[in-house]
Structures are given as structure tokens and as C-alpha cells.
Amino acid sequence: MEELSELLLQRRRKVDALWEAGINPYPNDFKPQHTSADIVATYGSVEQLDTADVSITVAGRILARRSFGKAAFIQLQDRKGRIQLYVKKDQIGEEAFAAFDTFDIGDIVGAEGFPFRTKTGELSLHVRIIRLLVKSLHPLPEKFHGLTDVETRYRQRYVDLIVNPEAREIFVKRSRIVNLIRSFMTERDFLEVETPMMHQIPGGATARPFITHHNTLDMELYLRVAPELYLKRLVVGGLERVFEINRNFRNEGISVRHNPEFTMMEFYQAYATYEDLMDFTEELFCHIAQEILGTLDFTNQGIDISFGRPWKRLTVRDAILEYGDIEAKQLDDRDLALSYARSIGLSLPDEIGYGKLVMEIFDEVVEHKLIAPTFITAYPTEVSPLSRKNDHDPEIVDRFELIIGGREIANAFSELNDPVDQKERFLAQVAEKDKGDEEAQYMDEDYVRALEYGLPPTAGEGIGIDRLVMLLTDSPSIRDVILFPQLRKEVK
RNA sequence: GGGCACAUAGCUUAGCUGGUAGAGCAGCCGACUCUUAAUCGGCAGGUCGACGGUUCGAUCCCGUCUGUGCCCA
């Protein structure tokens, strides 16, 4: 038997007392017909309320209570917001008022009454009937500061959502953003699909997978790191425009930008190029910002960001030359570039490939400096095993990443649809894996076979939903936009 | 994986060069029929994250561990 604090014991005694009095502390027979927002919508603009014959029913959690002996104000919170209730002894009756007196902050109640304005003009509900619907056994956090301890906010998100309206708003916005994306895609004739989360061969991204096991089939399975290879199989199958909004899992570190499971929207459009997708992305992002923020100009963590079009486009090479302290002939020479990389503090093996080296330099000297939306293009073929080679320069691919606020938000490319080339690229990845690169990709024979049937010329893109939500809700950490972020085991 | 910081009542927190803790809110009792961080009087609530060490004595100093945050890889 766990030891309970005085506070918790008091609440439990109240529940016991209710049972003993023949009252169920957890009834389920109350149907609220209105929300707090309904009351405001209907009566909020009416100055003189003559509504004593109106009947409103609401339900919600008691967040605050101000008692005066024979009357009290309580603040009720439901899914739409908050509304003040006025409870008066000579209105609800002696017995009901005695019961009401035992209600605690945190309890869930149902009430019936009529709207009115208090002396100070606040629209409130004048209660005729009030009932306990759920007895809460825990005291809520302090009313003024709320819950600020980040660990508790993440571990007990339900408490965070009860007492911190800002937290709730973030997740309401997140839902709206996802809905906007979904309808934007659907209106452009994209088909929403669901592809496997459990892969026999993890593919579609350079990342370490989570491994799991299927008992009946006695087979190792991997949680997907990306849906890419399955979505492109669908394009082979003739579903020329598809998208999926779902979770990816990557067995990597946790940071303010990384959660082991995170949400991506991936989409593929036949007969499009990566350049088409840059325009498409600008349109999508501007649409979302306009709907969510009402503007294309906003601030994120105190820094001004504008979605004003057109967005800057820059090759990886030009970006390094612009933001790094390095000359072109230095960057273009592998050995000189390697010594430059080491001079800025990167520790890299001697045998590192030139493409990887360039991206290491890019990540170090450029990425965090790109605040305004910027499309970075012309990625090394070596680090892009699923992208189409550039027609004029086989060392680079037709790919871009979108960087906003110093963070990668999207990744897109014209798809590699030459099965012979794809097989060679897979083999190069396998060689890297054999050399010990745990992030290198696996050979996927069936995917090559699908390409052999013919993948239409296609472009595809992945957009990080969590990071997009961070951007539009001004959240400093990915944990603020994921309802239940991953944490270590809780200590008792 | 490395570095730095933090962990005190349900919540938000104070606590000086080491002498075993103080507040606000919440709670309980009492007063109060228009408050909104309601007000007024009283009361209670703490193995100071865990385990070791130093010391006559540790919330405080040292070590290890756990959790969290930030930075780096």
C-alpha cells in the first residue's frame, strides 16, 4: 500500500463519504447541450440579458473557486474554453448547496442554468442545478504559475493540458495544420494512403532503425525509418499522386529537434520534377501560414521569418562558399576541403567520401545560418542513393532540402527511376554498411524489381510535421509539439 | 557518448562561510450572497531525488547513481 499525503487522503475520504451516502462519484448520465464557447457566441455581444427562462447545460472541470459562504463563483473549463458559473444557496437549495460545498478544484461537474452578466460585466451562467460528475483525487497545480516543471509537463501531459491553455493551443494548432495539409493535397488530386510501419527491409532514409520481432513468423522486423520505397511502389502501380502522413522511427539521439518517433508527410507526384516541388512547397507553406497565423511574416524564438515568395535557392556548393570561410578551389579539392573541415573542428576519417565531406562542412557552417526559407539544391550523389542524377553532372542529384530557421524542414528530389542505376547505388550502400556505417541503406531487391516494371518520371518530398508545427507555434523544443514525447523511465 | 546546470510540501519557490527548513497558492476549520491571483482569522502539511563519504553535526562540502534541461558528438 502506497503512502498517501494528507491531501490525497482527504480526497479519498470524500469519495468514500459519497459512496456511503449512496451517491456514485462517477455517474454517466449527464448530457451537456452546450459548451462554454456556445454561451459566448450566443450571448457575448448582448449587453442587457433578459434570459432567466433560458436553459443552458454545460459540463467541465472546476479550475477555480471563489466562495462567499452562501454563494460562490467557480470557473469551469470544457473543450472549448472557460466559463464562470455563479452558484447561490437560495437558488439551488440548501441540500444541493451543501453537496456543492464539498466540490473541489479539479472535480468535473455538470450544471444547468441561465446566462447573465455579473456586476463587473462578465458573461456567466447562473446555476439552477449543479452535480458532481467525477471526483478528482489529485489537487491541481497552482492557479497563477500553473505547471512549469517541464518533466512533469511531458510525463503528465494531461495535467499540462488541464492547466496550461498555451499547451492546449499548440495541439489544437497542430491538428489544424495537419488538416490543412490533408485538404491541400486532396484538392490537388493526391490520394492518401497507408503503407507498412513494420518493414522487413528498412529503407528510404539513411538512419538506424528500431528492430522488433514477429513471433509467429519468427522474423526480425524493423520499424520504418521512412515510407519512401513503398510510396514509390504505388506510383509504379499507377497511383500517380500519393501522400501519407504518419510516423517514422529512427533509433538515434534525442534533442530539441529529434524525437525517436516523429511525423512526416511524404508525397509523390508522377511527371513532376524537384523544381516543380519547390513551387508546390512554397504554395503549401504560405497557405498554411496564412490560415494559421493570418500572415506570412512572423517571429520564431525572437527571430523574424518571412514566407514572402520567392524563396531563396542555393546549391550546396554556393552555400558553403557564401557562409563558410573557404575558397572555391579549396572546396573543390578533396584533400584541401578535408583539411578545411578539420580546421573548423570536424573530426573525420581519412577515407571519407567527397560527397559526405561536403555535407559535413555544409551542416557545420551553413545550416544553422539559414533563417529565411531557403532551398538548398545540388546534393552529392554519394549521399542521395534514391535521387535522380543531374543530367549534366552525375556527381550531383536533382534534390533539395528546405531549411527554415536553421532547421531542415523538408527534403525532396526527382526520383531515381533507372533500375540499373538504383541497383548500383544500393550496392554502394551495402558496401558502406559492410564497412561499418550503421546508417547506410539495405539492398531492396523487390524495390529494384518494381523499378524494372517502370516508375514514371516522378518527384517526391518529405515534410517534417513536428518541425513545421514548432515553427508556426514558436515552440523551442520538439517535445512541446509532441503530446507524449519519449522520456527515460520514471523513477518512483 | 562528453561537458555544464538543476532536483526543497500537491504546485510555484526562499534558504548567507555547514548548526536538522520559511513563504505564496492549493488543502482543512471558521467568517462572508457579485468574485475573478476574492478577502479576513486560525490550523496542518517536508526521510530537502537516492545511496555512500567527510564532520561533533550535512538541504548546504565530496563521490556514485537516477531523472530533467541546455550545449557538444
* Final residue before a domain boundary, out of A140, A155, A175: A140
Distance, CA of A435 to CA of A350 (rounded, Å): 14
Determine, yes or no, domain membership for A11: yes
CATH code where residue A430 lies: 3.30.930.10
Please check whether residue A335 lies inside any domain of the structure: no
Q: What angle do CA A440, A442, A447 make, to 5 degrees?
A: 135
pLDDT at position A492 is: 60
> How far, in Å, is the CA of A152 from the C1' of nucleotide B7?
12
- In this prediction, residue A3 carries a pLDDT of 58
Q: Is the CB of A457 under 7 A from strand B?
A: no
Indicate if A167 and A136 belong to the same structural domain: no
Q: A110: domain range?
A: 6-140
Where residue A1 falls among pLDDT bands split at 50, 70, 90? very low
Q: Are residues A64 and A21 in the same domain?
A: yes
Q: Nearest to residue A192, comparing CAs of A231, A244, A240?
A: A244
The count of domains in chain A is: 2
Whether residue A356 is contained in a domain is answered as no
Q: Is residue A153 part of a domain?
A: no
C-alpha cell at A350: 581519412
| Mean pLDDT, rounded, for A451-456 | 98
Which residues 291-350 on A are within 7 A of strand B at the CB atom?
345-347
Residue-averaged pLDDT of chain A: 94
Is there a single domain that holds both residue A136 and residue A167? no
Within 7 Å of a protein beta carbon, the nucleotides of strand B are 1, 9-13, 24-28, 31-39, 44-46, 66-73
Q: How far is the CA of A389 from the C1' of B70 (A)?
A: 40
| Nearest-angstrom CA–CA distance, A358 and A320 | 9
CA A399, A402, A408, A411 torsion-angle sign: negative
Q: pLDDT tens, A297-312?
A: 999 998 999 999 999 9
CA of A147 to C1' of B48 (A): 21
Higher-confidence position of A135 and A345: A135
Asked if residue A171 and residue A136 are part of one domain, the reply reads: no
* Residues A111 and A233 grouped into a single domain: no
Do residues A72 and A105 make contact, with C-beta atoms less than 8 angstroms apart?
A: no
A105 touches strand B (CB under 7 A): yes
| Nearest nt by C1' to A480 Cα | B69
> Do A271 and A418 fall into the same domain?
yes
Q: In this structure, are A105 and A202 located in the same domain?
A: no
**Is residue A93's beta carbon less than 7 angstroms from any atom in nucleic acid strand B?**
no
Of A227, A228, A196, A230, the C-alpha closest to A212 is A196
Helix (H) or strand (E) holding A114: strand A108-117
Say how far A5 CA is from B57 C1', in Å: 30
A313 falls within a domain = yes
Provide mean pLDDT across the span A171-197: 98
Assigned domain for A125 exists: yes
DSSP character for A302? T
**H helices then E strands: how many in chain A?**
16, 18
Q: Do A99 and A199 belong to one domain?
A: no
Would residue A333 count as lying in a domain? no
User: Maximum distance among all alpha carbons in chain A?
Assistant: 89
The answer as to whether A432 is a domain residue is yes
Average of pLDDT values for A63-81? 96
CB A447 within 8 A of CB A254: no
Average pLDDT over residues A27-31: 96
Do both A235 and A92 map to the same domain? no
A324-382 pLDDT per residue, tens: 999 999 999 999 999 999 888 888 888 899 999 999 999 999 999 999 999 999 999 99
State the pLDDT at residue A257. Answer: 93
- Percent residues over pLDDT 70 in chain A: 99
What pLDDT was estimated at residue A206?
85
Q: Quote the ipTM score.
A: 0.92
Q: Give the SS3 label for residue A411.
A: strand
User: Domain check: are A167 and A295 in the same one?
Assistant: yes
Residue A105 sits in a domain whose CATH number is 2.40.50.140
Residues 6+ apart with CB under 8 A from A122: A84
DSSP, res A137: -
A96-121 pLDDT, tens digit per residue, is 999 999 999 999 999 999 999 999 99
Predicted local distance difference test score (pLDDT) of residue A56: 96
According to DSSP H, which parts of A72-135 are helical?
Answer: 89-92, 94-101
Do A83 and A219 have their domain in common? no
State whether A170 and A249 are in the same domain. yes
Q: Is A20 helix (H, G, I), strand (E, B) or coil?
A: helix
